[in-house]
Amino acid sequence: MSAIIEEVVARKLFNSRGRETIEVDIITCEGFGSAASPAGASTGKAEVVCYPEGGVDSALQKFEELVIPELIGMDAEEQNDIDMLLHEIDGTSNFSNIGGNTAFAVSIANAEAAATSLDLPLFKYLSGYVGSELPYPLGNVLGGGEHVLGKTTDIQEYLVMPLNASSFVEAATANVKVHAKVGDLLGKTCKNFTGGRGDEGAWAPNISNEEALKIVFQACQEVSEQIDVECRPCLDVAASSFYDVKKGVYVYSMEGKKRDAGEQLEFMLQLIEDYKLAYVEDPFDEDDYENFAELTKKAENCLICGDDLFVTNRDRLAKGIEVGACNSLIVKVNQIGTLTDALETTKLAKWAGYVPVMSHRSGETVDTHLAHLAVGFGCPVIKTGVLHGERVAKINELIRIEENLGNRAQMSIL
Ligand code: PGA
Ligand code: ZN
């Protein structure tokens, strides 16, 4: 079977926020792959650049001129070579020439084209035929920050993790139940609640940060009592988005309160303890490795995860490992551009005992590759929301993967 690239096509289409994005098709003699790029709203400042100046139009033009002619005739099975080629053509350290989202779309579409050329589902191809562990879904049920237009919580995401679920479908069901329960509780307790939701399908009420956590905690407890799954609350603080760098304080506008780094540390520890949090992402500013490390040292039974801190970048992760910054990291392929780069970072994370969490972006398409990447890379957790078509697409794909694996399917070890 041959995976020689015969044709490459790119187009502009829209993501879940209605913003323009790039989609790339790769056609081999016997296979086909297609991928569209997601986009963040609360992006880390060390991420690669999504598009060159001029946006998607300029990225498409550069792609036609510089990249397509080089890809034709290459072997899609040589993922490393393809990803290296993208770096070479770009010639910068942050994909600011051809655009990180172009690199992402090519890299993923290429892997899929190679997989289909071999008649394999992407997750099997990526895992070298052995992937059989399903990730726990980390689902966003309430939120604010940069993912909502109006006045709501400063903390970006309140999530649920269904620990000890015995199958993926059971875990996904638990998350849907917690999302619905949070909606019920908000309807009963929050006078001005309209049922509005943010970019990722999480409820977006106008309430304080701790009130929100109380509701999510209660919903988790009630659902845990109903079904045989331990639902635990989690947070993505996305603290850089409300950190005042000049004053060195975190500005909690819902409470009219400011916290310096020491107070932020105490606050996080208190929330972890009071609400039995299983996971806290980006609790400090994206350059504050020391306080991440302090929290990781002091927090018990809680994953402390770096997203904006690491931006899926191997060097930033290596620095984090050196100082003990976290025990988990977010993997977002388009933060770093290519599959090969993201895989290297994931391998380093696993080597250091960090739990890698495969993650969507707040702006998504209905692409389902993320589900395959989570299983293919062996990530014990996938962060991909609970509601809205572009989130459910990934969840449903994992249900299909679980079915495809049959008896071999098992939940990851966390
Ligand atoms: P994003 O952030 O808006 O950059 O995708 C989501 C997250 O912080 O996890
Ligand atoms: Zn995050």
Question: Are 153 and 386 contacting, i.e. CB atoms less than 8 angstroms apart?
Answer: no
Question: Are 257 and 268 contacting, i.e. CB atoms less than 8 angstroms apart?
Answer: no
Task: Assess whether the C-beta atom of 43 lies below 6 angstroms from ligand 1.
Answer: yes
Which DSSP letter does residue 63 get?
Answer: I
**10 strand-pairing partners:** 24
- Could you tell which of 199, 279, 359, 383 is best to mutate to test the pocket of ligand 1, judged by most ligand atoms within 8 Å of the CB? 359
User: What percent of the chain lies above the pLDDT cut of 90?
Assistant: 97
For residue 151, report the phi and psi dihedrals to the nearest 5 degrees: -85, 115
Q: How far is the CA of 111 from the centre of ligand 1 (A)?
A: 24
Q: What is the mean pLDDT of residues 347-368?
A: 98
**What is the Cβ-side half-sphere exposure of residue 368, based on CA atoms within 13 angstroms?**
15
Cα distances from 184 to residues 170, 189, 219, in angstroms, run: 21, 9, 9
Of 120, 62, 117, 115, nearest to 91 by C-alpha is 62
Question: Are 414 and 355 contacting, i.e. CB atoms less than 8 angstroms apart?
Answer: yes
Q: Enumerate the active-site residues.
A: 200, 332
Is the pLDDT reported for residue 382 higher than 80? yes
Task: Assess whether the C-beta atom of 200 lies below 6 angstroms from ligand 1.
Answer: no
Is the pLDDT reported for residue 19 higher than 90? yes
Convert the pLDDT of each residue in 229-255 to its tens digit: 999 999 999 999 999 999 999 999 999
Is the pLDDT reported for residue 64 higher than 90? yes
* Rounded CA separation 244/399 (Å): 42
Global pTM value: 0.98
Task: Assess whether the C-beta atom of 361 lies below 6 angstroms from ligand 1.
Answer: yes
DSSP conformation letters of 138-187: EEEEEE-GGG-SSS--SS-EEEEEEET-SSHHHHHHHHHHHHHHHHHHHH
How many helices (H) and strands (E) the chain has is answered by 14, 16
Q: How far is the CA of 260 from the centre of ligand 1 (A)?
A: 23
Question: Are 230 and 159 contacting, i.e. CB atoms less than 8 angstroms apart?
Answer: no
Q: How far is the CA of 6 from the centre of ligand 2 (A)?
A: 38
Ligand nearest to the CA of 147: 1
Count of CB atoms within 10 A of residue 35's CB? 24
Helix ranges (DSSP H) in 200-288: 209-226, 261-274
* Rounded CA separation 88/56 (Å): 20
DSSP conformation letters of 30-58: S-EEEEE--B-SS--TTSPPSS-TTHHHH
- Distance of alpha carbon 406 from its chain centroid, rounded? 26
Instruction: Give the CA angle between residues 349, 370, 81 to the nearest 5°.
Output: 70
User: What percent of the chain lies above the pLDDT cut of 70?
Assistant: 100
Tokens 């845990």 sit on residue: 224
Is the pLDDT reported for residue 369 higher than 70? yes
Task: Assess whether the C-beta atom of 307 lies below 6 angstroms from ligand 1.
Answer: yes
Which atom of ligand 1 lies nearest, measured to the CA of 360?
5
Convert the pLDDT of each residue in 171-228 to its tens digit: 999 999 999 999 999 999 998 999 999 999 999 999 999 999 999 999 999 999 999 9
How many residues does this entry show for the chain?
Answer: 414
* Rounded CA separation 221/216 (Å): 9
Which atom of ligand 1 lies nearest, measured to the CA of 38?
5
State both tokens at 256.
Answer: 């009219």
Q: How far is the CA of 159 from the centre of ligand 2 (A)?
A: 11
Of 134, 136, 107, nearest to 123 by C-alpha is 134
Q: How far is the CA of 365 from the centre of ligand 1 (A)?
A: 14
| CB proximity list for 320: less than 8 A, separation 6 or greater | 289, 292, 306, 309, 310, 326, 329
- Average pLDDT over the chain reads 97
Pairing type for strands 257-260 and 249-252 reads antiparallel
Which atom of ligand 1 lies nearest, measured to the CA of 361?
5
Which atom of ligand 1 lies nearest, measured to the CA of 282?
8
Is the pLDDT reported for residue 262 higher than 90? yes
Q: How far is the CA of 64 from the centre of ligand 2 (A)?
A: 33
pLDDT at 391: 98
pLDDT at 313: 98
State both tokens at 111.
Answer: 């892997």
pLDDT band at 149 (very low <50, low <70, confident <90, very high): confident
Ligand nearest to the CA of 41: 1
pLDDT band at 1 (very low <50, low <70, confident <90, very high): low
pLDDT at 57: 98
Task: Assess whether the C-beta atom of 306 lies below 6 angstroms from ligand 1.
Answer: no
Task: Assess whether the C-beta atom of 239 lies below 6 angstroms from ligand 1.
Answer: no
pLDDT band at 162 (very low <50, low <70, confident <90, very high): very high
pLDDT at 9: 98
Count of CB atoms within 10 A of residue 141's CB? 31
Convert the pLDDT of each residue in 23-60 to its tens digit: 999 999 999 999 999 999 999 999 999 999 999 999 99
pLDDT at 281: 98
Is the pLDDT reported for residue 2 higher than 90? no
Is the pLDDT reported for residue 150 higher than 90? no
Which atom of ligand 1 lies nearest, measured to the CA of 147?
3
Question: Are 285 and 258 contacting, i.e. CB atoms less than 8 angstroms apart?
Answer: no
Task: Assess whether the C-beta atom of 235 lies below 6 angstroms from ligand 1.
Answer: no
Q: What is the mean pLDDT of residues 375-400?
A: 98
Of 206, 272, 267, 204, nearest to 235 by C-alpha is 272
**280 strand-pairing partners:** 235, 304
* Rounded CA separation 313/47 (Å): 8
Q: How far is the CA of 316 from the centre of ligand 1 (A)?
A: 18
Of 239, 238, 237, 232, nearest to 278 by C-alpha is 232
- Could you tell which of 362, 390, 394 is best to mutate to test the pocket of ligand 1, judged by most ligand atoms within 8 Å of the CB? 362
pLDDT at 140: 98
Task: Assess whether the C-beta atom of 364 lies below 6 angstroms from ligand 1.
Answer: no
Task: Assess whether the C-beta atom of 335 lies below 6 angstroms from ligand 1.
Answer: no
